[in-house]
């Protein structure tokens, strides 16, 4: 019955199958055997077919095995009170009856600490877990006052990996701004902290990939905390949609399924800035400039955006200091207006006592040129600065 | 609410067919995510997860395949996803088996009764090995078994997906199951 030649095996299999199909509807073994003899089956084939026709002892055995395996793979649902390593689950946070994010407490009795535990999908097999370990080490290097820190990680009893993150409680940044009725300058200051955190991560070659208000919390003391750095990548974007990224915050290249890099984060920062500034900026004197900054941060082509989160942050500082912004650089009339506004007491005094003479105009122009030269130097320095372009978390 | 930035399934499937292993990972994450969501909505408040994973799979795949394309694509889709489920579950089972036993698995015949998870792992790995064996001599029967066990499809769906009559599918299934049983008995006697 064990033919060495696979061709032989196929022929033999086809023969057995043909005889099987001929006699399988006959009522009992005796008639089946008689039919096989009548049809001219050799004795090996007869024995094989009759063995196959014996009633199967456990038909559901394999579907049970597959079902159990799938249930294992999906992971048994965790519940409050369950322990993962030195953490005890307190209650589910966020979405889903399966509870993929939990509030947890340290249960080793040493000291009290709360954390958010996140279960990751799509990581099975030794290789994948090894890669996850490397990614975790990368994330653990982030150490910034505005980034929720990765504390720990491990694998559940059913083999599902999880991450333990610093737990941040508070309002989402947009809700906080609305609740506190923050003026534009205060909103921009909060946003600057976010830029600072993103710049820190980019320097450590970590891309956030899912910057949006829901991932930026402000606690009761007004401290900004950026959640889930690099986690979108680890979770697999498909797996968490539609709870995941909001359409407007994902860069065009991310929406097209390309691997995101630092410019994708700049895009999302631009959208966040737009969300935060919109209520205040519409009626604001600097509305046009803010719009230009948002437009540059969210340019369709990644290379047209700000080179770094730091560059975006410095641009906002220029805006607040009434210096010309890079997004409108090269517009002469704009630069002149900026120069006038910055030196208005001096210009006003001059205008009051004298007619606006050629001398004054010349002074102003000189000032503007100096400012622009300084801007150009700063821009060059920004260009030279190390840009973490390489996306590391795929 | 449809903020899904990852590429459409058809794109993933094509990329996977070209040998892009990232596409495979994304495909699996997508299926797993969808399965979890469906399981969550189904099992809310229930103590233990139901083992009607076949139903769950089938619903999931149909849902993932929302816009019904050509039947040829459907056949490819269900073939690809059931294959993907199979390899993920087998990998997972093999890893768990190695964890528990620290070694290779043994094929298990019918009367060897182990209880619980280990016997399930062994059954799954045995099923995988037998499907590979069957595919060499009878690809159609192997495909139908795979769609049954790992795609969660019933006889009517299989008939539609493979453009076969239901009677043909029934006949193939009956034979393929009998073949599996006979192979297990042979292993036991050997």
Contacts of B180 in chain A (CB under 8 A): 62
User: Cβ separation of B120 and A65 shorter than 8 Å?
Assistant: yes
State yes or no: pLDDT of A103 exceeds 60.
Answer: yes
**pLDDT for res A16:** 93
Backbone angles phi, psi at B131, to 5 degrees: -65, -40
Helix (H) or strand (E) holding A88: strand A87-92
Give pLDDT tens digits for A214-259. 899 999 999 999 988 877 666 543 333 333 344 688 888 887 777 7
pLDDT tier at A6, thresholds 50, 70, 90: low
pLDDT tier at A343, thresholds 50, 70, 90: low
The predicted model gives A204-208 an average pLDDT of: 87
Between positions 111 and 140 of B, the ones with CB within 8 A of A are 117, 120-121, 123-124, 127, 136-138
Q: What is the DSSP string of A89-131?
A: EEEE-SSTTTTSEEEEEE-SSSS--EEEEEEPPS--SHHHHHH
Q: What is the DSSP string of A290-309?
A: HHHHHHHHT-SSGGGS-SSH
Distance CA A14, CA A48 (A): 12
Is-contact A177 A270, C-beta < 8 A? no
The alpha carbon of residue A57 is apart from the nearest alpha carbon of chain B, in Å, by 8
**pLDDT for res A123:** 63
Most confidently predicted of A151-160, A251-260, A300-309: A300-309
Q: What is the mean pLDDT of each run of 10 residues along chain B (190 residues)?
A: 49 68 67 63 44 57 56 69 80 71 45 56 90 95 91 82 91 92 76
Q: Which carries the bigger pLDDT value, residue B84 or residue A391?
A: B84
Between positions 28 and 57 of B, the ones with CB within 8 A of A are 28-30, 32-33, 35-37, 39-41, 43-45, 48-49, 51-54, 56-57
When mean pLDDT is compared across A66-80, A139-153, B3-17, B33-47, the lowest value belongs to B33-47
Is-contact A63 A39, C-beta < 8 A? no
User: Cβ separation of A125 and B149 shorter than 8 Å?
Assistant: no
- Facing residue for A52 by CB, picked from B28, B150, B179: B179
B178 and chain A: CB distance < 8 Å anywhere? yes
Is-contact B84 B28, C-beta < 8 A? yes
User: Cβ separation of B137 and A13 shorter than 8 Å?
Assistant: yes
Classify residue A343 as exposed, middle or buried by CB count within 10 Å of its CB (0-12, 13-18, 19+).
Answer: middle
The alpha carbon of residue A219 is apart from the nearest alpha carbon of chain B, in Å, by 27
Distance CA A102, CA A88 (A): 9
User: Cβ separation of B52 and A67 shorter than 8 Å?
Assistant: yes
Distance (Å) of CA A22 to CA A1, A3, A135, B168: 21, 24, 59, 13
ipTM field: 0.71
**pLDDT for res A374:** 54
Backbone angles phi, psi at B4, to 5 degrees: -80, 110
User: Cβ separation of B89 and A70 shorter than 8 Å?
Assistant: yes
Q: Which residues of A are catalytic?
A: 210
Instruction: Give the residue carrying structure tokens 């989402």.
Output: A172
Most confidently predicted of A285-289, A309-313, A376-380, B92-96: A309-313
What average pLDDT is seen over chain A? Answer: 77
Domains in chain B: boundaries: 9-189
State yes or no: pLDDT of A79 exceeds 70.
Answer: yes
User: Cβ separation of B36 and A121 shorter than 8 Å?
Assistant: yes
Contacts of A240 in chain B (CB under 8 A): 33
Half-sphere exposure of B77 (CA within 13 A, CB side): 26
- Facing residue for A241 by CB, picked from B4, B41, B174: B4
Q: Which carries the bigger pLDDT value, residue B56 or residue A13?
A: A13
State yes or no: pLDDT of A197 exceeds 70.
Answer: yes
**pLDDT for res A262:** 92
Q: Which carries the bigger pLDDT value, residue A230 or residue A182?
A: A182
Distance CA A150, CA B148 (A): 42
Sheet order of strands, A150-155 included: A83-84, A87-92, A101-106, A114-119, A161-166, A150-155
User: Cβ separation of B33 and A70 shorter than 8 Å?
Assistant: no
User: Cβ separation of A97 and B40 shorter than 8 Å?
Assistant: yes
Give the residue from chain A lying closest to B27, CA to CA.
A238
Which three-class secondary structure state does DSSP give residue A150?
strand
**pLDDT for res A226:** 93
- % residues pLDDT > 90 (chain A): 34
Classify residue B47 as exposed, middle or buried by CB count within 10 Å of its CB (0-12, 13-18, 19+).
Answer: exposed
Distance CA A375, CA A315 (A): 10
Backbone angles phi, psi at A216, to 5 degrees: -125, 105
Which three-class secondary structure state does DSSP give residue A38?
helix
Instruction: Give the residue carrying structure tokens 């509030």.
Output: A103
- A127 closest CA partner among B25, B120, B104, B189: B25
Beta pairing partners, A118? A101, A163
State yes or no: pLDDT of A154 exceeds 90.
Answer: no
Most confidently predicted of A242-246, A260-264, A277-281: A260-264
Distance CA B122, CA B105 (A): 7
Beta pairing partners, A216? A226
- Residue A28 has a CB neighbour count (10 Å cut-off) of 8
Distance (Å) of CA A269 to CA A7, A172, A180, A230, A278: 63, 15, 21, 15, 14
- Facing residue for B175 by CB, picked from A17, A96, A126: A17
Which three-class secondary structure state does DSSP give residue A357?
coil
The alpha carbon of residue A235 is apart from the nearest alpha carbon of chain B, in Å, by 8
Distance CA B187, CA B111 (A): 11
B63 and chain A: CB distance < 8 Å anywhere? no
């Amino acid at each position: 019955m064990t033919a060495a030649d696979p061709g032989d095996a196929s022929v033999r299999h086809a023969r057995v199958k043909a005889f099987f199909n001929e006699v399988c509807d006959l009522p009992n073994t005796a008639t089946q055997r008689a039919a096989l003899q009548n049809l001219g089956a050799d004795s090996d084939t007869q024995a094989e077919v009759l063995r196959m026709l014996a009633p199967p002892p456990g038909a559901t055995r394999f579907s049970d095995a597959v079902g159990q395996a799938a249930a294992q793979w999906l992971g048994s649902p965790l519940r409050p009170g369950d322990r993962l390593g030195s953490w005890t689950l307190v209650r589910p946070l966020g979405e889903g009856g399966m509870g993929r994010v939990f509030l947890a407490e340290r249960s080793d009795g040493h000291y009290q600490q709360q954390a958010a535990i996140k279960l990751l999908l799509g990581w099975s097999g030794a290789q994948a877990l090894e890669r996850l370990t490397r990614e975790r080490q990368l994330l653990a290097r982030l150490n910034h006052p505005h980034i929720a820190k990765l504390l720990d990680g491990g694998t559940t009893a059913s083999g599902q990996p999880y991450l333990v993150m610093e737990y941040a409680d508070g309002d989402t940044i947009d809700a906080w701004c609305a609740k506190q009725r923050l003026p534009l300058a205060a909103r921009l200051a909060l946003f600057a902290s976010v830029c600072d955190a993103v710049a820190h991560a980019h320097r450590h070659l970590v891309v956030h990939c899912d910057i949006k208000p829901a991932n930026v919390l402000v606690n009761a003391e007004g401290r900004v905390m950026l959640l889930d750095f690099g986690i979108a990548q680890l979770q697999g974007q498909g797996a968490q949609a539609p709870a995941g990224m909001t359409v407007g915050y994902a860069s065009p290249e991310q929406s097209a399924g390309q691997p995101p890099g630092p410019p994708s984060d700049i895009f999302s920062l631009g959208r966040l800035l737009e969300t935060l500034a919109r209520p205040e900026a519409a009626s604001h004197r600097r509305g046009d400039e803010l719009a230009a900054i948002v437009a540059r941060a969210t340019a369709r082509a990644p290379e047209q955006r700000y080179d770094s989160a730091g560059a975006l942050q410095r641009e906002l500082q220029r805006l607040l200091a009434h210096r010309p912004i890079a997004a409108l650089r090269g517009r002469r009339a704009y630069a002149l207006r900026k120069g006038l506004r910055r030196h208005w007491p001096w210009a006003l005094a001059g205008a009051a006592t004298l007619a606006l003479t050629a001398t004054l105009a010349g002074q102003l122009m000189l000032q503007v040129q100096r400012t622009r030269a300084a801007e150009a130097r700063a821009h060059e320095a920004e260009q030279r600065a190390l840009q973490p372009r390489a996306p590391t978390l795929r | 609410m449809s903020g899904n930035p990852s590429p459409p399934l058809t794109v993933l499937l094509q990329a996977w067919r070209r040998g892009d292993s990232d596409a495979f990972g994304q495909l699996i994450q997508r299926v797993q995510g969808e399965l979890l969501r469906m399981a969550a909505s189904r099992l809310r408040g229930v103590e233990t997860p139901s083992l009607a994973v076949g139903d769950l799979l089938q619903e999931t795949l149909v849902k993932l395949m929302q816009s019904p394309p050509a039947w040829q694509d459907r056949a490819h889709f269900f073939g690809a996803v059931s294959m993907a489920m199979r390899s993920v579950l087998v990998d997972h089972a093999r890893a768990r088996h190695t964890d528990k036993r620290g070694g290779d698995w043994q094929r298990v015949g019918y009367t060897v009764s182990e209880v619980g998870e280990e016997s399930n792992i062994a059954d799954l790995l045995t099923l995988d090995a037998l499907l590979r064996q069957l595919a060499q001599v009878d690809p159609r029967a192997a495909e139908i078994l795979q769609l049954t066990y790992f795609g969660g499809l019933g006889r009517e769906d299989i008939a539609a997906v493979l453009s076969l009559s239901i009677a043909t599918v029934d006949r193939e299934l009956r034979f393929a199951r009998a073949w599996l049983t006979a192979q297990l008995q042979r292993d036991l006697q050997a």
